[in-house]
Amino acid sequence: MPLARLSPLWRSTSFRISLIHAALLAAAIVGAGTGGWVTTRGAAEREAHDRIALEVHAVTLEIQAEGLKAAGDAVMARAERPGALEYRLVDSTGRHVAGDLTDLGPKEGWRSLDFDGTAPGLEGKDRLIILTQRLPDGARLTVGEDLGRAEALRNTLFRTLLLWGGLALALGLAAGLYLTHRALERMNALVRTVRTVADGDLAARASDARPEGDDIGQLAAGVNQMLDRIGVLMAAVRRVSAEVAHDLRTPLSHVRQRLDAAAAAATPELRNAALQSANDGIDRALRMFDAMLRLAEIDAGAARARFAAVDLMDLTDRVADAYRAELEASGRTLIVQIAECRVVEGDVDLLTQALANLLENALKHSRAGAAVRVRLVEEPDGIKLSVEDDGPGIPPEMFGVAVRPFSRLDPARAAPGTGLGMAITASVARLHGGRLLLEDARPGLKVTMLMVPAQGPMRSQNDASCDRGRPDLAAVRDADGN
């Protein structure tokens, strides 16, 4: 394989891991073979020592009991047995009595002798362990065992182990190389997809995505999921940009028209009226920007630093009371139902604005003489704060659109407001660990903020919230951009 193709393989983590595993396998094979060879050699020598010592003792007892000639006959008989030891028995004068072992000298004690297998009288023998012992009558007995065959067997086994171990190592390396190459091809395809997206093609997707597959398949599936989310967000950015541009164009166009009218006004009164109208258009644009900043702040979660215990019963009562006069003046009836419930952990200002936004929607969209219901109750799934009216309502398939920033159910976008009220309320609900639920009231719309009650002791905002009195409707509407 060319070096240029080996370079990315070497940089691959999986290939390096394969090499480490191969090195460990090689070390294990060599270590096991060497350890086994040394261990079996030592065991064979100890066993040979034991057999030789036992045999010398037995022959010595026979000589003492029956004499040298009878012992010689016994040695000859022992030498004929399969797997027998090597013997040499000589009398006190050095005359050979029994045994086929060649004369290895009169030195007594244990000896280990190595041969090349061709020495006279020692043909085929490579390594002898012998014990020479002088008997009480002057005779000399030598007993030995040839360990050459056992060592040859051990060497053969060791070489076989190295051979097959090397073959297994080579196969392992080849398999690691192949699998790494396959993995690199898949990873390179994924990298190409990411680079294609980075170059501007947001429709590109990884082709190897398998959520239930291997790690690369799961990674590709995760990348595709991320790209899908990015696509949704980019589409939302484009939609919001277009809607913001449209909503800003109208007041700014009106401002320009009013300024042109002021410049052409014939009297101071007409000029002042035109300037005041232009000022109102600028205020509307500023309220829209304020609402956008408010929504961004809520989504960023910065308000969590101000979280404390909020008494929703008191908050609901105060906000509903602040809207009661305006609702009743327009011929509507405000019905407030507040049940006992625990406090929530949150920001009292944001929760106040969220409820005010819902009442503003009810005030705008419910018919004259209608009933607007505000209900606070704690249920097993959480605390529910809802506002219900009997206006035209929203088709269920449009619920998701209604809570999007700058969304308008009016295609002409002629209705007043910025389209941020419901989006801000939904963001406030999410900030407080809950969600905003829209239901068809038949007729009308029911909007519910589902929140989780606070757990454990908290710093209370009750005193501060009670000192505020009624909320400022103008401030609430300015924050919403309405």
Q: Which two tokens stand for residue 408?
A: 């308008």
Mean predicted confidence (pLDDT) in 362-369: 82
pLDDT tens-digit readout, 127-173: 788 888 888 778 888 888 887 777 777 778 878 878 888 888 888 77
| Beta-strand runs (E) in 55-168 | 86-90, 96-98, 109-114, 127-134, 140-146
DSSP class per residue in 209-262: --TTS-HHHHHHHHHHHHHHHHHHHHHHHHHHHHHHHHHHHHHHHHHHHHHHHH
pLDDT tens-digit readout, 384-407: 999 998 877 788 888 877 777 766
* pTM above threshold 0.75: no
22 vs 221, higher pLDDT? 221
Same topology between domain 3-151 and domain 303-480:
no
pLDDT at position 468 is 41
pLDDT tens-digit readout, 99-113: 877 777 778 888 877
Distance CA 191, CA 195 (A): 6
Give the best-scoring range by mean pLDDT among 140-154, 180-194, 327-341, 445-459. Answer: 327-341
pLDDT tens-digit readout, 315-347: 999 999 999 988 888 888 899 999 988 888 888
Least reliable range by pLDDT among 79-83, 252-256, 270-274, 372-376: 79-83
* Statement: residue 120 has pLDDT above 60: no
pLDDT at position 464 is 40
34 vs 465, higher pLDDT? 34
Mean predicted confidence (pLDDT) in 290-303: 76
DSSP class per residue in 397-423: GGHHHHTSTT--SSTT--SSS-S-HHH
Percent of the chain residues topping a pLDDT of 70: 84
374 vs 93, higher pLDDT? 374
Q: Which two tokens stand for residue 321?
A: 């009371």
CB–CB of 278/259 below 8 Å? yes
Least reliable range by pLDDT among 227-236, 245-254, 359-368: 245-254
435 vs 247, higher pLDDT? 435
Q: Which residues contact 150 (CB under 8 A, 6 or more apart)?
A: 44
* Statement: residue 463 has pLDDT above 50: no
The CB density around residue 152, as the number of other CB atoms within 10 Å, is 12
pLDDT at position 116 is 61
Please provide residue 313's backbone torsions phi and psi, each rounded to the nearest 5 degrees.
-65, -45
CB–CB of 292/311 below 8 Å? no
pLDDT at position 466 is 38
Question: Of 284, 222, 262, 219, which Cα lies nearest the Cα of 418?
Answer: 284
Q: Where are the domains of the chain?
A: 3-151, 215-297, 303-480
Q: Is residue 87 classed exposed, middle or buried when 0-12, 13-18 and 19+ CB atoms within 10 A define those classes?
A: buried
pLDDT at position 408 is 62
Rg, Å, the chain Cα set: 49
Asked if omega into 392 is within 30° of 0 (cis), the reply is no
Query: Which CATH number does 303-480 carry?
Result: 3.30.565.10
**DSSP bridge partners of 127:** 114
**DSSP bridge partners of 451:** 383
* Statement: residue 205 has pLDDT above 90: no
365 vs 309, higher pLDDT? 309
Distance CA 180, CA 14 (A): 6
Least reliable range by pLDDT among 243-252, 302-311, 434-443: 243-252
- Classify domain 3-151 at the CATH topology level: Beta-Lactamase (3.30.450)
pLDDT at position 386 is 93
In the structure, what pLDDT confidence band is assigned to residue 456 with cuts at 50, 70 and 90?
Answer: low
CB–CB of 97/139 below 8 Å? yes
pLDDT at position 351 is 92
pLDDT at position 374 is 94
- Nearest-5° Cα angle at 28, 27 to 34: 90
The CB density around residue 103, as the number of other CB atoms within 10 Å, is 11
Q: What is the mean pLDDT of the chain?
A: 78
pLDDT at position 416 is 54
pLDDT at position 373 is 92
* Statement: residue 235 has pLDDT above 70: yes
β-pairing, 333-338 vs 371-379, is parallel
